[in-house]
């Protein structure tokens, strides 16, 4: 994990912050929480901030027990009043004062929040679902991989397949089969990418995030 590498190099100086424009700040992982002996803590988004309430809920809006994955819902004085001139979208994400973030995550027994994926990015496959950020973490752990972006593409049978765009280090000698074997070993066959696309760079959105819509469209257009 590259966060662990940074802590080893820089010491306990990192601070991670989780929030959204719609919700403001939600949680923070303080420098003293960056414990190399607890990798699950490094993957978390830290403790929920004061004056912020977080609930993990299922599709029906029911609260889920500690440790179970569901949508992160937030209530605080900093939650937005609504989207400008978009009442339908406002009604979809704001319910009874709670904001549905669109993020999947869970709370552990010590109150640390972990963000697992975006709902819209999660890939539904035969036998379960694939969290794209988990798979990206595994791919990025390979010493010859610089970046990766995982996304789903539907095939002719309307089955969603796992695809990964991978940027390798200069002079790298890593193969798609080698990366699949790494994923299979760490996560099991369900997470194994159907296709791995080696690219020079990942396309980015205006927010600086990997543009998975564009990556998906490129694959779909190449199959026509």
Residues 129 and 90 in one domain: no
d(CA 205, CA 198): 19
Residues 52 and 37 in one domain: yes
Contact 145, 168 (CB under 8 A): yes
SS3 of residue 108 by DSSP? coil
Contact 193, 181 (CB under 8 A): no
Q: Which of 74, 95, 118 is the last residue of a domain?
A: 118
Number of domains the chain contains: 2
pTM, to two decimals:
0.85
The pLDDT confidence band at residue 1, using thresholds 50, 70 and 90, is low
Per residue in 182-218, pLDDT (tens digit) is 999 999 999 999 999 999 999 999 989 999 999 999 9
> What's 74's domain CATH number?
2.30.38.10
Q: Which of 86, 118, 150 is the last residue of a domain?
A: 118
d(CA 54, CA 57): 10
User: Which residues constitute the domain of residue 106?
Assistant: 2-118
Per residue in 127-180, pLDDT (tens digit) is 889 999 999 999 999 999 999 999 999 988 888 999 999 999 999 999 999 999
Residues 91 and 156 in one domain: no
Per residue in 12-27, pLDDT (tens digit) is 899 999 999 999 999 9
Interior CA angle at 75 toward 17 and 42, to 5°?
25
């Amino acid at each position: 994990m590259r966060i662990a590498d940074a802590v080893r190099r820089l010491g306990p100086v990192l601070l991670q912050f989780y929030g959204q424009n719609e919700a403001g700040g939600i949680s923070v992982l303080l420098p003293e929480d960056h414990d190399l002996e607890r990798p699950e803590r490094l993957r978390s988004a830290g403790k929920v901030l004061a004056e912020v309430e977080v609930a993990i809920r299922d599709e029906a809006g029911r609260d889920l027990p500690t440790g179970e994955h569901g949508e992160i819902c937030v209530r605080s004085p900093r939650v937005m009043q609504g989207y400008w001139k978009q009442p339908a979208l406002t009604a979809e994400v704001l319910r009874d004062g709670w904001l549905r973030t669109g993020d999947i995550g869970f709370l552990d027994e010590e109150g640390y929040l972990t963000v697992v994926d975006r709902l819209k990015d999660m890939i539904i496959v035969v036998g379960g679902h694939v969290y794209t950020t988990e798979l990206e973490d595994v791919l990025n752990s390979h010493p010859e991989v610089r970046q990766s972006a995982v996304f789903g593409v539907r095939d002719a049978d309307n089955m969603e397949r796992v695809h990964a765009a991978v940027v390798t280090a200069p002079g790298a000698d890593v193969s798609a089969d080698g990366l699949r074997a790494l994923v299979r070993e760490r996560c099991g066959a369900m997470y194994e990418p159907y296709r791995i696309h080696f690219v020079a760079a990942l396309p980015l959105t205006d927010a600086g995030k990997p543009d998975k819509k564009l990556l998906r469209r490129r694959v779909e257009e190449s199959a026509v």
